[in-house]
Structure 1
Amino acid sequence: MKAQSFRPSLKFNGKIVVITGSGTGIGQAIAKKFAENGAHIVIMGRRREPLELTSAILSDTVKAAGSTGKVRSFHGVDVADEVGINNMFKVIKEEFGTVDIIINNAGVSGPVKVFTSATHAEFKECVAIHLTGAFWTSLQGIKSMERGGKIITIATFFTEENRYEQRPYRFRAPYTSAQGSKNRLAEALAWELVEKGIKSIATNPGPVHSDRIYKTVYPKAAAEFLRIGGYQGLTSIEIERVLTILLQLLGQPEPIVSEGIREAANEISKSQKSNSTDSFSSVAKMEAVLSGLLAKVQEIAEKIQFNTAKMIVDGEFLTQDDVANMVLNLCDDVISKLINGRVVPNDRVFYPVKPLVGTAILGTNLLHPKIKDKVVVITITSSSEKDLDRANKIAAALSSSNVKQVVILAKNPADLTRFRGFHSHLVNLSEEKSVRMIFETVRSKFGSLDALIHLTGDYDYDLPFSSLARAQWDSLVDNFINIPGLIVKEAVNMMAPEGAADEPVKFRGSKGVVVIIGPDAPVGKKISGTVRARSEVFRGALRPYTATVNQELADVLGSDIRLYLVLPGNIEGEPPDTEMLKNSLTHLLSVSSLKRSEVIFYIDESKS
């Protein structure tokens, strides 16, 4: 008897599903799963060739399923590009009329580097694709959605799943920051869209079998470990240069690998001769060293994979089909109703992490002797009366504690009049060169930069994210993610010996403190779930960023520099206590704070 082939039910027959980043990998697997279930599939991405291949696969899948589903492809579309996304949804509306499901899947690896070495442009691009891409795709898709529509946002287990559970992801600071914010955004949109009958759910897959992990993320992470730790007499700069060539050789045939190593050896040998060094007297010796370096990269990459697998309950990475099945189930009408507004774990990972979140900061004392003679910089991007007054009071408290110098840097010209009693400057805090130059000036004029306090200010929690213009959203991302990332990086580099960004070994033993004072919790007697959810979106970026940066500062760079995040306000809706904030900052700026494992503080939650 002839065996009957299994034919899935056409559960999503006639539904219009938009999947970002769907030319390869997980996105392609999700698209195929919906095609098997009768949906019309819209795929999009930046590269034409993968999308053409995926379109062919989906067309065959639709035919095999016996459905009337259509496949529409948009190539050359970057999810971070406002105009590209707008135009895509305009065409979708013309051709299909409505959108039923959006899958926010697009992503990039971003810089796989210690945060002190990544450029600000790399940081912003990663955040734009992961966070802004998901936001803008959702907003444009909502315009064509009817009741019953669903938005599924795919993030990662290497971020925060809630405000108390942090999972640092070394060498991936902008990535984990964007993903944490994306989780909180999915929650906020669920609250905002409930009246429209649209569901918003996020899911955090664990490690997934993919070319990106095996060919990009793990090898680059291994390369970064070697750049920081050194290898057989090569400088960090030399290691970075040759690995740019060598990483492309992974998986290539032996003749290509040998030729690539030979070219890299010639380049480094010439460079060493021009610098009057004789670490390696022949190209042959250099070839042997570089062969060993490439083998070491492979060894470390495999070790990262092995150690990650050991944290998974069954030791197995997810398949791309596993993730696709999860997404398909989340789009079920019954299931999506039950878990609307939630972040659904999909990782099976037990990730041991020290306690990173605290409330009370003990031992606070405004006259703490260990902050005497320090040079402290205060940066502020907010022009609200509350934040300007807060910055003034912090500066006054530090001055009365006999710090050597307080320097205040503001972004807005009118704000400088509020700081006439202090050394203050107007600086474009969103521009990499300007921030670096002013920090260099501080160090040159006062001898050091020992501590930095950055105030982000707040945003309007009553204003729906779903109503924002693109410029408004971009301004929020700059203020609460990009600018803090830039200021922290440049301040930390200034606390270390000159050249540490290029030669990370110089960070070892360096001292300093950076504190971000993030957005306040909502204030009031009756705070709605919608307002609470909105208030967490950018806090949700700063928390995993802080956790990851501290892991790199301590465990990777071996420094005594720390980053702390203070989030004022409490769940009772009481106004933040400025006196407690001043005392807490005084303690965090002291060296004794290095003994703490906590780096994220809700100081107003403690009852003193």
Structure 2
Amino acid sequence: MTTVSTRSAGRFQDRTVLVTGAGSGIGRATALAFAAEGAHVVVAGRRPGPPADTVALIEEAGGKALAVTADVSRPGAAAALVEAAVDRFGSLDVAVNNAGVFRGGQPLADLPEEDWHTQLAVNVTGVHLALQAQIRRMRTQPSGGAIVNVSSTFGAHATSPGAAAYSATKAAVTALSRGAALDHIRDGVRINVVSPGATATTMSLRAGETEADRAERARATLPLGRVSATEEVAAAILYLASGEAASLVGTDLVVDSGGSL
């Protein structure tokens, strides 16, 4: 089980951070990392169980967190998440839009229409609605806020057979983020992107592949010789959200073991 140890002070001490898709994988690692640096974390996910488990890990280590069940593709869900964060902790200082789905594995011509619409709704419309709700709150705050959207190397940087539709949605996330960054930096809202490559999550496993199989494939195909750890992606997200990255606006930070070189 992943654990977290809180510290008495950190880069995000007493800041309110919202993380979507935080019930597992990159989202959970990110929520734990923010909590370890003193943040109050709102943990969002489509099903109630996984976010509650993430919150339990944070609270066991002495941190503060709130679990909220939300489908980001639904109208009103993003605004409700922002409201929940502000009601509980008083502000929204950082938002990480990590929720995403992959439907693919077959050529584009054979992709069911429902799978296209699902990916578009969650990966693109969900981020669009989240950005609107988060920016509308952050621009009213004297301190503004920071937003990090989680895209993918599939999209603006690379693609793979069976991932055309997914790649299109993630390329849209990158473009949407860059445009929003330009629109709202003068409002005090700083927006950036992290694009993970193959990471130690179930999404990077091919059909019928075990973690050992994936490790062997990574040794042969990735320049670094391994997939990225979820904690490494989380570290990139925290950097972009922090004051250390104050001059980064619309940046797309690739974390992919060299896979898209």
Quote the Cα distance in structure 1 between the aligned partners of 2:14 and 2:106: 44
Of 228, 243, 261, 1:333 maps to 243
1:125 has 2:141 as partner = no
**Could you tell me which residue of structure 2 aligns to residue 348 of structure 1?**
257
Report deviation, 1:91. Answer: 2.9
Report deviation, 1:202. Answer: 0.6
Report deviation, 1:7. Answer: 4.6
Contact preservation (8 Å) 2:7, 2:38: no
Of 156, 161, 172, 1:160 maps to 156
Q: 1:315 to 1:110 in 2, by over 3 A?
A: same
Report deviation, 1:209. Answer: 0.7
Give the alignment of 1:457-476 within 5 angstroms. Answer: none
Give the 3-state SS of the residue equivalent to 2:125 in structure 1. helix
User: Which digits, 9 at most, give the CA deviation of each residue in 1:320-351, with x for residues without a partner?
Assistant: 1111111111112131x232111112113244
Quote the Cα distance in structure 2 between the aligned partners of 1:107 and 1:202: 14
1:98 has 2:91 as partner = yes
Quote the Cα distance in structure 2 between the aligned partners of 1:159 and 1:136: 20
Contact preservation (8 Å) 2:6, 2:38: no
Scaled by the length of structure 2, the TM-score of the pair is 0.89
% same residue: 24
Of 186, 191, 194, 2:185 maps to 194
Quote the Cα distance in structure 1 between the aligned partners of 2:236 and 2:209: 32
Q: How large is the RMSD of aligned CA atoms in angstroms?
A: 2.2
**Could you tell me which residue of structure 1 aligns to residue 233 of structure 2?**
323
Quote the Cα distance in structure 2 between the aligned partners of 1:98 and 1:7: 21
Report deviation, 1:155. Answer: 0.9
Quote the Cα distance in structure 2 between the aligned partners of 1:85 and 1:330: 21
Quote the Cα distance in structure 2 between the aligned partners of 1:20 and 1:10: 22
* Partner AA of 2:47 in structure 1: R
Give the 3-state SS of the residue equivalent to 1:193 in structure 2. helix
Q: How many residues matched?
A: 253
Contact preservation (8 Å) 2:16, 2:93: yes
Q: 1:14 to 1:156 in 2, by over 3 A?
A: same
Contact preservation (8 Å) 1:311, 1:349: no
* Partner AA of 1:72 in structure 2: L
Contact preservation (8 Å) 2:147, 2:191: yes
User: Which digits, 9 at most, give the CA deviation of each residue in 1:124-173, with x for residues without a partner?
Assistant: 11111111111111110112213441010111112214xxxxx2221112
Q: 1:59 to 1:177 in 2, by over 3 A?
A: same
Contact preservation (8 Å) 2:193, 2:252: yes
Give the 3-state SS of the residue equivalent to 2:156 in structure 1. coil
Report deviation, 1:13. Answer: 0.8
Quote the Cα distance in structure 1 between the aligned partners of 2:259 and 2:81: 40
Structure 2 regions of 5+ residues with no counterpart? none
Contact preservation (8 Å) 2:103, 2:116: yes
**Could you tell me which residue of structure 2 aligns to residue 35 of structure 1?**
35
Of 69, 86, 105, 1:112 maps to 105
Of 68, 71, 74, 1:74 maps to 68
Give the alignment of 1:536-551 within 5 angstroms. Answer: none
Q: 1:350 to 1:111 in 2, by over 3 A?
A: closer
User: Which digits, 9 at most, give the CA deviation of each residue in 1:381-415, with x for residues without a partner?
Assistant: xxxxxxxxxxxxxxxxxxxxxxxxxxxxxxxxxxx
Quote the Cα distance in structure 1 between the aligned partners of 2:6 and 2:33: 14
Q: 1:344 to 1:8 in 2, by over 3 A?
A: farther
Give the alignment of 1:439-588 within 5 angstroms. Answer: none
**Could you tell me which residue of structure 2 aligns to residue 48 of structure 1?**
48
Quote the Cα distance in structure 2 between the aligned partners of 1:97 and 1:6: 21
Quote the Cα distance in structure 2 between the aligned partners of 1:56 and 1:95: 17
1:207 has 2:198 as partner = yes
Scaled by the length of structure 1, the TM-score of the pair is 0.40
Contact preservation (8 Å) 1:97, 1:144: no
Q: 1:314 to 1:92 in 2, by over 3 A?
A: closer
Q: Which has the higher contact order (CA 8 A, sep 6+)?
A: 2
Report deviation, 1:177. Answer: 0.4
